[in-house]
């Protein structure tokens, strides 16, 4: 397996490849790198911040988000040539992003979910969960969240306005 140097010494935390050639990675001190050749070469993008970025997600090669510490949300609509800071209304650590085909966006953070129905222009809290471990969607209004280190999950079918919470059964390993 071939290892390609990124050209940075900053720790990198997440990657998003909207197609086989275009890819983005994020890391410490506002680091954003972009590849246009499937990860063989990487170029630094100007994030305009020094906050650590922990998550990145692109819906298309042009439209994407990066999130990180202190409630930082960055959005690009031009393939990362410019990154615009968006007001998350929080200062918590943000770590993961899901962009749906209708341009609604969900972001996981320390003990809560943020939601935008308008491509990241405005944000609202859509649930408070301890230690979120995973989130997934079947439609923009139907979501499942695993939390409390994977021991519980909640589902919504109305875009996060109401949640149904369940505990996962304990699994006993055979000896």
For residue range 64-115, list pLDDT tens digits in order.
999 999 999 999 999 999 999 999 989 999 988 999 888 889 898 888 889 8
- CA 65 – CA 73 distance, rounded (Å): 7
Give 25-53 pLDDT, tens digit per residue.
Answer: 999 999 999 999 999 999 999 999 999 99
Which token pair is 166?
A: 């369940």
- CA 143 – CA 17 distance, rounded (Å): 23
Distance, C-alpha 87 to centroid of its chain: 15
Cβ atoms of 164 and 157 within 8 Å: the answer is no
Which token pair is 63?
A: 């439209």
pLDDT score for 3: 63
pTM for this predicted structure:
0.85
Contacts of 118 (CB under 8 A, 6+ apart): 103
- Which helix (H) or strand (E) element contains residue 23? strand 23-27
Give 109-145 pLDDT, tens digit per residue.
Answer: 888 889 898 999 999 888 888 888 778 877 677 888 8
């Amino acid at each position: 397996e071939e290892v390609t140097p990124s050209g940075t010494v900053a720790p990198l935390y997440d990657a998003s490849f909207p197609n086989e050639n275009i890819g983005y990675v994020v890391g410490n001190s506002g680091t954003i790198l972009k590849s246009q050749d499937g990860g063989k070469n990487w170029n630094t993008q100007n994030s305009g911040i020094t906050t650590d970025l922990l998550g990145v997600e692109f819906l298309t090669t042009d439209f994407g988000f990066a999130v990180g510490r202190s409630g930082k949300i960055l959005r690009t609509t031009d393939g990362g040539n410019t990154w615009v800071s968006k007001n998350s209304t929080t200062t918590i650590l943000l770590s993961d992003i899901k962009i749906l085909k209708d341009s609604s966006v969900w972001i996981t953070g320390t003990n809560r979910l943020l939601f935008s129905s308008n491509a990241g222009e405005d944000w609202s809290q859509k649930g408070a969960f301890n230690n979120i471990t995973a989130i997934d969607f079947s439609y923009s209004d139907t979501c499942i969240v695993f939390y409390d280190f994977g021991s519980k999950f909640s589902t919504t079918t109305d875009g996060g306005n109401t949640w149904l919470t369940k505990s996962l059964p304990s699994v006993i390993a055979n000896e």
